């Protein structure tokens, strides 16, 4: 009888422990993959230097919640993994440091070097496009004082968000 009790306790423990481990992984944000990360939180962290208001922070979080499912779906459909993302980042860094290729060609060469399939390369492009649109919409809601405090890497995006469609309007007016 004792053997049956011990076996029952062990069996129960084997079933319960993985369930708690899965809950802990979810709470810590593990296992989300590349597209499941919180884009809004990452951008808010980058924008700490500009002094976001509570209202702006909330808007960014809401926008991020709407974007997350799209990004997660793209990531899952193309089977993009964190390892593949690291491989791609290393390839990009190596290509940029070599300085032989510039602009959009860097991404193309990095995708080839990292071994991305055409589907994965397309998905990465869509993910990047979604991220850039999100960032542009966030930068557009910053005040001029906040934009002045932006890190240099983000200032070009803020200028593009501010003058969105300006060239098209000027060209149409010139005709």
Domain boundaries, the chain: 1-30, 34-164
- pTM for the full predicted model: 0.63
What confidence score (pLDDT) does residue 24 get? Answer: 42
Asked if the model's pLDDT at residue 58 lies above 90, the reply is yes
What confidence score (pLDDT) does residue 9 get? Answer: 41
Q: What is the mean pLDDT of residues 143-163?
A: 75
Asked if the model's pLDDT at residue 66 lies above 50, the reply is yes
Coil, strand or helix at 37: coil
pLDDT band at 108 (very low <50, low <70, confident <90, very high): confident
- List of E strands, the chain: none
Asked if 65 and 22 count as a contact pair (C-beta separation under 8 A), the reply is: no
- Name which residue leads in pLDDT, 168 or 71: 71
Rounded to the nearest 10 degrees, the angle between the axes of helix 39-46 and helix 118-140 is 50
Residue 98 to residue 108: CA distance in whole angstroms:
15
Q: What is the mean pLDDT of residues 111-130?
A: 87
What confidence score (pLDDT) does residue 84 get? Answer: 84
User: Between vectors from CA 134 to CA 130 and to CA 140, what angle results, nearest 5°?
Assistant: 145
Terminal-residue alpha carbon distance, the chain: 93
Asked if the model's pLDDT at residue 94 lies above 60, the reply is yes
Residue 102 to residue 95: CA distance in whole angstroms:
9
Asked if 123 and 134 count as a contact pair (C-beta separation under 8 A), the reply is: no
Report the chain's mean pLDDT, rounded to a whole number.
Answer: 74
């Amino acid at each position: 009888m004792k053997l049956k009790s011990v076996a029952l306790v062990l069996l129960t423990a084997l079933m319960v422990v993985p369930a708690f481990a899965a809950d802990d992984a979810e709470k810590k944000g593990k296992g989300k993959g590349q597209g499941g990360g919180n884009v809004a939180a990452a951008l808010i962290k980058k924008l700490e230097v500009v002094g976001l208001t509570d209202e702006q922070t909330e808007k960014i979080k809401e926008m991020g919640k709407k974007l997350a499912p799209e990004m997660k779906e793209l990531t899952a459909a193309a089977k993009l993994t964190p390892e593949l993302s690291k491989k791609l980042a290393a390839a990009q860094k190596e290509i940029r440091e070599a300085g032989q290729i510039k602009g959009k060609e860097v991404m193309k060469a990095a995708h080839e070097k990292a071994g991305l399939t055409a589907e994965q390369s397309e998905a990465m492009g869509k993910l990047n496009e979604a991220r850039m649109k999100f960032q542009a919409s966030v930068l557009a809601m910053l005040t001029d004082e906040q934009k002045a405090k932006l890190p240099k890497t983000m200032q070009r995006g803020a200028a593009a968000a501010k003058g969105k469609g300006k060239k098209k309007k000027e060209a149409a007016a010139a005709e």
